[in-house]
Structure 1
Amino acid sequence: MTMLDEREIGALQAWQGRSETFADCITAAPVRALSATLDRDDPLPEAGTPLPALWHWLYFLPHHRQSEIGPDGHARRGGFLPPVPLPRRMWAGGRLAWEAGNPLRVGDAVKRTSTIASVTHKAGRTGELVFVLVRHEVHNERGLALTEEHDIVYRAAAAPGEAAPPPTAAQKDAAFSRDLLADDVLLFRYSALTFNGHRIHYDRRYVTEVEGYPGLIVHGPLIATLLVDLLRREKPEAAFARFEFRAVRPTFDIAPFRVHGRPEADGKTFRLWGEDADGWLTMQATATLA
């Protein structure tokens, strides 16, 4: 297997410090649509309705032309993100902090500035990896509303006969849980809402024959959103101060899965995690309420 050499790694790290800024408006239609997709019975959003935690992912969507899309459904490498020459790309996790007293609201005119904070190369037991850390700052008319760090990982394609990393058993001490089924319709609706063309989420032939997975992959951001949604169902009036999450293992649409939560002793911090049908940990997260 060809490894990235020092020159190629240096060229990728030259992307560090690049930034871009997008403007958008927090409109009501995506809020209504995600509420329906998550099977919620929310009041219809109107101007001034606070945007639930993580639902800002419905905005600032990249609108690449069809001719700019690569074979995996993502935009071709280059542009804002560095052109990492490794075929597999995933949203590995992130950390978010909301500004107290300044929630994003329906009707807000918003601006997001994104910066490539770091590009890191590693080679280990699981193969060659490139980690890209993107830092976002979201402002509305009242000032800074949200800061987010977004971890993207690129890796080589699996070699024939390559063993998957050993799984980790999910914790069994949940205080509240929810059973879920990620069928084709749920994955399609979330892909449509986030304008996500990545074929691993909707093209079964591609994901099984080209990428070698057993089924469609549930979006990492969707699982993170379901973890937050679980806590919102438990604490409907709570406001979020911080949230961090890390993807541990892919979740596939071939079997049901579960999301769990448990409060810590302070009553404001909650452990949240995902579990697949075999009892393996898929995502772990921590939420801190304001």
Structure 2
Amino acid sequence: MSLRRVEVLGTLPAVAFRGTFAPLAPEPAPGTEVPPGWEGLYFPYDVPLADLRPDGTPVRDGVLPEMALPRRMYVGEDAVFHRALRYGETAEQVVSAGSITRKTGRSGELVFADVVREYLVDGVPAVSSTWHDVFLDVATAPSDRKETGGDSAPSADWTEPLRLDERQLFRFSALTFNTHRVHYDLAWVREVEGLGGLLVHGPLLRILLLDAAVRHEVGDNVPGHNQAGPTEPGRVAEFSFRVHAPLLAGADAVIAGTRHGQESEIRLLDVDGGLLARGVVTWSS
């Protein structure tokens, strides 16, 4: 199964995102480049209400086969940036099913499913992305398991604090037409998902970590942040991102970046140094 959609990449979604999450980003204007990762603000899934699970995620999305499991969560994404998209361009998105793997874990049956998305302009790929989801059974005891990331002030080339509140989660859900109840329904989060607060969107963290990497790569100064001098700037060629543990609204976190040759490792850590998410940027030469 696959979907093909065409959309003019207008500035409105990017202006709204910039005003909520990225005030240091260049102001969107027709003909200028869409920042890498911001393609995720376009082509939202707009399935009918009848095609949603009780948790608000699509049960029938026109791409993946229907899964009997009741919960669907984003776990990461791998993207290749062939060339920059530009505001005002007409882009085509082609979405198809990728690999589907069934496993059994401590919490029961799991299904890992990939969604492959191609963004084309005049038939030529600009961005190729594979979105990774996991389908799960009913939640049991909440899990706070996370990988150790080091100290709360990790060794890195640069660090930035991150704290997101409920207003920002609401805006990102509205921008991307994301109806997953973990991001806005506190009763659902506590009683069904077993979490202590609203969950920050994984796709939002992907954009924020990539934004931070680009900002420091080109040497923009961010007052009050620990950062080393920039290396020779490069364009983003690839970005691989994984979520390791939940970040909740109102919780303090740290984005920490380290350059290794043609790659930058971007970690999102909680106040105890636990690893919440990790991304790897590959820079073009």
1:245 pairs with 2:238: no
Partner of residue 211, structure 1:
193
Partner of residue 264, structure 2:
270
Map 1:121-270 onto structure 2 (within 5 A): 121-141=102-122, 143-159=124-140, 162=141, 164=143, 166-171=145-150, 172-236=154-218, 238-264=234-260, 266=261, 268-270=262-264
Partner of residue 66, structure 1:
49
1:281 pairs with 2:275: yes
**Distance across 1 between alignment mates of 2:181 and 2:139:** 17
SS at match of 2:147: coil
5+ residue gaps in structure 2? 219-232
Q: CA deviation at 1:278?
A: 3.2
Q: CA deviation at 1:219?
A: 0.5
**Are the equivalent residues in 2 in contact too, given 1:272–1:286 (CA < 8 A)?**
yes
CA 52–43 in structure 1, closer or farther in 2 if over 3 Å, else same: closer
**Distance across 1 between alignment mates of 2:45 and 2:25:** 27
SS at match of 1:190: helix
SS at match of 2:47: coil
CA 21–149 in structure 1, closer or farther in 2 if over 3 Å, else same: same
Cα-to-partner distance string for 1:179-224 (whole Å, 9 max, x where unaligned) = 1111101111111111111110111111111221111001011111
- The one-letter code matched in structure 2 to 1:66 is L
SS at match of 1:282: strand
TM-score normalized by the length of structure 1: 0.86
Q: CA deviation at 1:142?
A: 6.5
TM-score normalized by the length of structure 2: 0.88
SS at match of 1:255: coil
The one of 24, 38, 44 aligned to 2:7: 24
Partner of residue 84, structure 1:
67
Q: CA deviation at 1:169?
A: 1.0
SS at match of 2:268: strand
How many residues end up aligned between the 2 structures?
A: 267
Q: CA deviation at 1:79?
A: 3.5
Q: CA deviation at 1:42?
A: 3.8
Cα-to-partner distance string for 1:111-170 (whole Å, 9 max, x where unaligned) = 1111112211001334311011121211012711111111111111233xx473642111
SS at match of 1:210: helix
Q: What is the root-mean-square deviation of aligned Cα atoms in Å?
A: 1.8
SS at match of 2:209: helix
Cα-to-partner distance string for 1:53-109 (whole Å, 9 max, x where unaligned) = 11001111122233443321223346322211222211111111111xx31000110
**Distance across 2 between alignment mates of 1:217 and 1:37:** 17
CA 66–232 in structure 1, closer or farther in 2 if over 3 Å, else same: same
**Are the equivalent residues in 1 in contact too, given 2:10–2:88 (CA < 8 A)?**
yes
Query: Percent of counterpart pairs with the same letter?
Result: 33
- The one-letter code matched in structure 2 to 1:158 is A
5+ residue gaps in structure 1? 1-17
**Are the equivalent residues in 2 in contact too, given 1:108–1:141 (CA < 8 A)?**
no
- The one-letter code matched in structure 2 to 1:179 is P
Q: CA deviation at 1:277?
A: 2.9
CA 277–87 in structure 1, closer or farther in 2 if over 3 Å, else same: farther
**Distance across 2 between alignment mates of 1:217 and 1:200:** 6
**Distance across 2 between alignment mates of 1:125 and 1:75:** 25
SS at match of 2:148: coil
The one of 76, 82, 91 aligned to 1:93: 76
- The one-letter code matched in structure 2 to 1:121 is R
Q: CA deviation at 1:250?
A: 1.0
- The one-letter code matched in structure 1 to 2:191 is E
Q: CA deviation at 1:36?
A: 1.1
Partner of residue 46, structure 1:
29
**Distance across 1 between alignment mates of 2:250 and 2:10:** 34
SS at match of 1:270: strand
